[in-house]
Structure 1
Amino acid sequence: MARFRLLADEHQARSPLRQLWREFARQHSAVAGLALFSAFFVLAIIAPLLTPHAPYLQNDNLLLLPPSWSELGLVQYPFGTDDLGRDMFSRFLVGTRYTFGIAVITVLGALIAGLLLGTLAGMSRGVKSSVFNHILDLALTIPSLLLAIIIVAILGPGLLNTIWAIMLALLPQFVHGVRNAIAEQLNQDYVIAYRLDGANNLQVFRRIILPNIWERLTVTATMALSTAILDIAALGFLGLGAQAPTAEWGAIIADSLDLIYVAPIGVALPGLLIFLAVLSVNLVGDGLRTAVKKRREN
């Protein structure tokens, strides 16, 4: 029986996912960030089911209603209403879908496209690879927000164009990360031995390279998510992203900025939500990076 348990423990220790989770769970800040990240993710999916009022319904009789903890507030409106009588609590909930949910979609799209282009760049040789790498290095010198603003200026303002702009702005770092990871793997002895055994490029990528770079891709995608959240909120605040009356956090801050002294919660709470969303992503990203490093050391 003791021998069986020893073999089971050794098998469990050899599992990369279990070992990665074990190292990740030892970091309390990373676990707290994962819980907060999961809460935002769930809210982004079920937010319309939790809204007590229609987020775009205007009520002329309840303009600039204070929060419920104020003497003039109402329990039906926990965070009060804006200058058009719309429920702030419902708008904050729906805003999770636009700021956080769209950020997840853009990162997934950039990850898939970056994986395809990065694979072509990393496994190609000659003039084609050199030209592609120089263009990629040039794109990486431009900040993602500035690149997104340039793309939105070309495509025009709007939420759909914001998705494409941020996806294209995040694409260079994914392509760069995949290209470097593949180039590093191609120099390993086991890849060379697999090629000598008769494997083609597709087999090398599918069976050797991809299983060894998925951890790095996960960390890169996690860190890019915080950038996407900030870029979506920034474009909405500048009036280049989500347009009124869309309940996006950055757009809500821009609409409430003129009333900051009358209704400061319209600026403070969306800003706090953006901060918590970015903080949760960064905590998860740092935890994953630390867990991957420790797993490799072990």
Structure 2
Amino acid sequence: MKKFRLYFEEQNRGPLTQLWQQFQRQHAAVFGLVMFAFFLLLTLFAPLITPHNPYVQNPDLLLLAPSWSDQGLVQYPFGTDDLGRDLMSRLMKGATYTFGIALVTVMGALLMGLALGAMAGMSKGVKSSIFNHVLDLALTIPSLLLAIIIVAVLGPGLWNTTWAIMLALLPQFVHGIRNAIQDTLKQDFVAAYRLDGASNWQVLRYAVLPNIWEHITVMATMALSTAILDIAALGFLGLGAQAPTSEWGVMIADALDLIYLAPWAIALPGILVFAAVLSVNLVGDGLRTAMKKRREN
């Protein structure tokens, strides 16, 4: 039964509600969000739900086929590797390294990029010009190549990989946030806020940042897919995580010699890398489309 109203009152939905309404109309984006939530939960709880120890070797079960094969065992759904380690447990644990570290690197690059981007966007004159030229120079180098250069200086390892990818993603965050801040500063409501006596910090906090958070969110989702690929690529090249760490790129590199004997050992981590990147790209593209439609409406 429709609720009785004595008088008409227009109800405007909040920006987040409008954004979600536009987002959920895109089936591919919702599917990507479900996949993203799955990888996030797997990253958080993988150490607690793995059926076997991912590092324990079993010489009696070397290169065991997946359970859907006639030679497989139901206790090992994805089979085992050449050392008898459970592939399902290693893949689940690998989400903590590949997907989890990618989240950490993006959050770190975002925080540093927000601070440096705010300084670059709010500054003027010679300081701003020098900062812009340095950023343009850094953006000409691909993030993976920049990460390889940094790892070559710091040395291989998972911890150094985290710092390398964080620093490699930093220029694009600084560049994007700086452009978003400068575009927002040209708006009339910022000029009106300055006329009321607001300082630069107040303008940044109350007028600029609330109006660019959507742009920052889209940048972070797109950078996350780059971070996942870079972590897996560095692990595959032997510059990132080192064996016996169950990082997906390392697992692919270790199973290259077994491509004819145990193709599932390469296919399964490769599929997970593809699915993780696909989920992030679907969510990022859905957010960008939803924000565009919300502004049009």
TM-score normalized with structure 2 length: 0.97
Q: For residues 167-178 of structure 1, what are the structure 2 equivalents within 5 Å?
A: 167-178=166-177
C-alpha separation between the residues in 2 aligned to 1:198 and 1:47?
52
Counterpart residue number, 2:186: 187
Deviation at 1:10, TM superposition (A): 2.0
For these two proteins, the number of residue pairs brought into alignment is: 295
C-alpha separation between the residues in 2 aligned to 1:145 and 1:19?
36
Q: For residues 1-298 of structure 1, what are the structure 2 equivalents within 5 Å?
A: 2-3=4-5, 7=9, 10-12=11-13, 15-298=14-297
Deviation at 1:122, TM superposition (A): 0.3
C-alpha separation between the residues in 2 aligned to 1:229 and 1:166?
10
Aligned-residue identity in percent: 72
TM-score normalized with structure 1 length: 0.97
Distance change in 2, residues 1:99/1:10 (3 Å): same
Deviation at 1:11, TM superposition (A): 2.7
Structure 1 stretches of 4+ with a deviation exceeding 4 A read: 1-6
Distance change in 2, residues 1:75/1:122 (3 Å): same
Distance change in 2, residues 1:155/1:196 (3 Å): same
Deviation at 1:2, TM superposition (A): 4.9
C-alpha separation between the residues in 1 aligned to 2:51 and 2:294?
46
Q: Which runs of 5+ in 2 are unaligned?
A: none
Partner amino acid for 1:18? T
Bigger shift: residues 62-71 or 204-213: 62-71
C-alpha separation between the residues in 2 aligned to 1:175 and 1:189?
24
Deviation at 1:146, TM superposition (A): 0.4
C-alpha separation between the residues in 2 aligned to 1:6 and 1:76?
64
Q: Deviations over 1:143-178 (max 9, x none)?
A: 000000000000000000000000000001100011
Partner amino acid for 2:113? G
C-alpha separation between the residues in 1 aligned to 2:57 and 2:170?
39
Distance change in 2, residues 1:4/1:38 (3 Å): farther
Partner amino acid for 1:54? N
Partner amino acid for 2:41? V
Partner amino acid for 1:224? A
Q: RMSD across aligned C-alpha pairs, in angstroms? A: 1.2
SS of match in other structure, 2:166:
helix
Distance change in 2, residues 1:4/1:254 (3 Å): farther
C-alpha separation between the residues in 2 aligned to 1:125 and 1:156?
38
Partner amino acid for 1:210? L
Q: Deviations over 1:212-241 (max 9, x none)?
A: 000000000001100000000000000000
More helix by share: 1
Partner amino acid for 2:258? L
SS of match in other structure, 1:11:
coil
Distance change in 2, residues 1:205/1:73 (3 Å): same
Distance change in 2, residues 1:6/1:71 (3 Å): farther
Distance change in 2, residues 1:4/1:291 (3 Å): farther
